[in-house]
Amino acid sequence: MNPGLDETHAPGLMSWVESANDPATDFPIQNLPLGRFRRAGDGTWRIGAAIGDQVVDLAQAGMVATADMNEFLATGRETRRALRLALSRGLRHGSPDESALRRALAPQARVEMGLPCRIGDYTDFYTGIHHARTVGSLFRPDNPLLPNYKWVPIGYHGRASSIIASGQAFRRPRGQTKAPAAPAPDFGPSQRLDYELEVGALIAVPNALGSPVPMAEAEAHVGGLVLVNDWSARDIQAWEYQPLGPFLAKSFATTLSPWIVTLEALQPFRAPFQRPPGDPDPLPYLDSPSNRTAGSLAITLEVWLQTAAMKAAGNPGQRLMTSDFRDAAYWTLAQLVAHHTVNGCNLQSGDLLGSGTLSGPAADQGGSLLELTRGGSQALRLANSETRTFLEDGDTVILRGYCEGPGRRRIGFGDCAGTVLPAAKLG
């Protein structure tokens, strides 16, 4: 029996919001993710919970005392659990609170969704071992994984100011690039624009400067998960990344899904954390009994591409790949928090920790075009006869994620979508 399960996870629960009972919805009553929304003509961001195709205005329902998501997250998991229980009971068939909650509903199609919280800092990790191995083999065929990979969670400091909400378009970045045989670099729009399929953890409870978070307490500092598309300009990156790593190739846009799927909702999909035979055990500060028993999560991840031609033809797009977080991520959420803070670094409410690209082990499971096209050397042929090596203007990339299992109700993250616009003109 999973000790983290309670009445809110019961697979037979049904809601008086009929769209929440559709087996295909991402937002059944067993999910209840949190996000920020505003109504048309109203500039005020509100905290809401998704239920089917509706959003519950939690302030109007009298369930939260603040309109500030960061402030709410910082109150911790017991507050989230109490809200989840109250929402679950109020949204069930036969609830005496139906009339009051019905007045607090708004159709998702009629509200604007923003970033799920204010993001003050962003760290992008490199936990996807299949991605690391495949990309490494493109540049170091005899030694794709560097010696530190299986010992330390690798990460870099990303740019929080250019993180955008799902549904927003962004400009193709410009920068310096250099062909291998060219005597000098060129400057112009990136020709090797790519997506990266990631999962992001949002910090809820901060830790004080100089106070590391131990493994046993690490997940208490995490509010929940979102999908992340860490757009990358591969040609700019190739020229600039040595010796200090990513810079302009990564800082022009990062797209987040709007709903925080809480760790409480993900509890039924816990999985053991296991290293492949022969791999080193984590150092003691990155190990704990609870992490070994249930540190991982079974999340199915997908990338979809809708080209401009597909959109014009009414085609919703084509799925390019699928992978599983449990198989793809070499490090767990708890290990990322523990490692990030072990030097005394203070995480704050709303900080984003990206997983890095979560590819599967097979050649057709790459979480980026860099992998699916072998560095651009093998064009990907789409079902409508278009081809892609890297993204073109007008392309929309949609990330999707969901959890399902025997005896469990399927829950999802909602779409994480972004569209490429032509590069901005200079001067």
User: What phi and psi values does residue 2 have, to the nearest 5 degrees?
Assistant: -70, 115
Helix (H, G, I), strand (E, B) or coil at 265: coil
Please give the sequence-ordered ranges of beta strands (E in DSSP) within 135-286, or none if there are none. Answer: 155-157, 163-165, 169-171, 174-177, 186-189, 193-194, 197-203, 222-229, 232-233, 254-256, 261-262, 270-271
Distances (CA, A) of 227 to 40, 60, 90, 93, 382: 25, 28, 28, 30, 24
Give Rg (Cα) of the chain.
21
What's the rounded Cα separation, in Å, for the pair 194 and 371?
10
How far, in Å, CA of 319 to CA of 88, rounded? Answer: 33
Q: How many residues does the chain have?
A: 427
**In 251-400, which residue ranges form alpha helices assigned H by DSSP?**
289-294, 308-312, 325-328, 333-341, 369-372
The residues carrying an active-site annotation are 131
Cα separation, 245 vs 82, in Å, equals 43
